[in-house]
Amino acid sequence: MPLLVMKFGGTSVADLSRIENAANKVRKEVERGYDVIVIVSAMSGKTNELVGWVEGTSKLYDAREYDAVVASGENVTAGLMALRLQEMGVPARSWQGWQVPINTTSAHGSARFVSIPRDNIDAKFAEGFKVAVVAGFQGVSAEGRITTLGRGGSDTTAVAFAAAFGAERCDIYTDVDGVYTTDPRITDKARKLDKIAFEEMLELASLGAKVLQTRSVELAMRYKVRLRVLSSFEDTDETSGTLVCDEDEIMESKVVSGVAYSRDEAKMTLIAVADRPGVAAAIFGPLADAGVNVDMIVQNISDHAGKDGGPVTDMTFSCPTNQVARAQKAMEDARAAGLIAYEGHVVDSDVAKVSVVGIGMRSHAGVAATMFKALAAENVNIKVIATSEIKISVLIDRKYMELAVQALHDAFGLDKVS
């Protein structure tokens, strides 16, 4: 039997009527001849409620007990989905992570997959069951303790099962009907993409597009798992949604496939850093140890000497706004410990990151020029620039973010099919 993995997010299973709607979609795939593995999230809002209960009980909580509590949301959904399918006449059985088992590392709250043995679920399919409903977001450690994978972990669970079972495809059902060229809330010219390459989707996910969790795209790209993003709330067929696939499946790509943005960015500049070998490691090592997620980095050689007469440099980097205080403390502690020397620092917490992404950049010149001209035409000043093979990102004043997204969407003709 061909096998399909279907994942339903929290909004798709938010109440009993939505679970019934999702079960109907599963039933239709069974009728098409598939065995189906369904991965479910907790009902919308339930994980936040469970986390609140844990934090209300113990501020310095045991991470193992945190996982035991928080994983229960998916267990409830899995049982309810299996019951609904049974009521529809579909042979279904629910599975918690330890029952599969989904073997993970022991990093509670952020566990990683080790293996997903097929034997138990394959045996149930052989008995005549058509659907295995698996609680997403969770697994079991070598010590036999329940683990969780971090927020968005159900997407990663779905991809991991598709890889382990050689699924024909992994369908991610959510509250949007696919991947768009940019956020439709910013421009009504945003267009749904029929296909997008793994690399492009990975860049968009890491840049702030919240359609798919970044780890799930990384895993899909590594194991060549074809993903389809589609809506739980619309009638769908084989052509619905957006297919995330290998670049070879896309006949001809646009130079730029999408425009992404991240609103909550901050820019920090260390002024007059003593310029010597190892200075970058001395800065970014403590930041990493403090859990600061550094993104864009620019180093500027200063034209004046430091207090000791030696060469100095200004070092600029970006990070999420909620990590600025942590970054400042890490730098001040490093300076106090004599690891680095700098005269001061300046923080701008009112910036946003806007990026253009496309595999077509590899073979086309002039993308940067087009981007910068479009921003200049709208009097948008660029503070920092960072590039990769298929991405160009800029930091700009946050108040110009929506204007910049619209301008770039128009400049690259993303509203046009070809």
Residue 45 DSSP label: T
How many helices (H) and strands (E) would you count in the chain? 12, 18
10 marked among binding-site residues: yes
3-state secondary structure of 396: strand
61 marked among binding-site residues: no
175 marked among binding-site residues: yes
211 marked among binding-site residues: yes
> Do 319 and 271 meet the contact criterion of CB atoms below 8 Å apart?
no
Other C-beta atoms lying within 10 Å of the C-beta of residue 136: 31
The whole-angstrom separation of Cα 36 and Cα 129 is: 10
Helix (H) or strand (E) holding 64: helix 63-70
261 marked among binding-site residues: no
- Give the residue carrying structure tokens 């399909």: 4
74 marked among binding-site residues: yes
161 marked among binding-site residues: no
210 marked among binding-site residues: yes
The whole-angstrom separation of Cα 326 and Cα 30 is: 51
413 marked among binding-site residues: no
Contacts with 414 (C-beta within 8 Å, 6 or more apart), sequence order = 181, 182, 189, 190, 191, 254, 256, 257, 258, 259
174 marked among binding-site residues: yes
- Give the residue carrying structure tokens 């200004």: 314
CA 209, 74, 134, 120 torsion-angle sign: positive
Give the burial string for 43-61 (b: 16+ CB within 10 Å, else e): bbebbeebbeebeeeeeee
Residue numbers in the known binding site for substrate are 47, 74
Residue numbers in the known binding site for ATP are 7-10, 174-175, 180, 185, 210-211
Residue numbers in the known binding site are 7-10, 47, 74, 174-175, 180, 185, 210-211
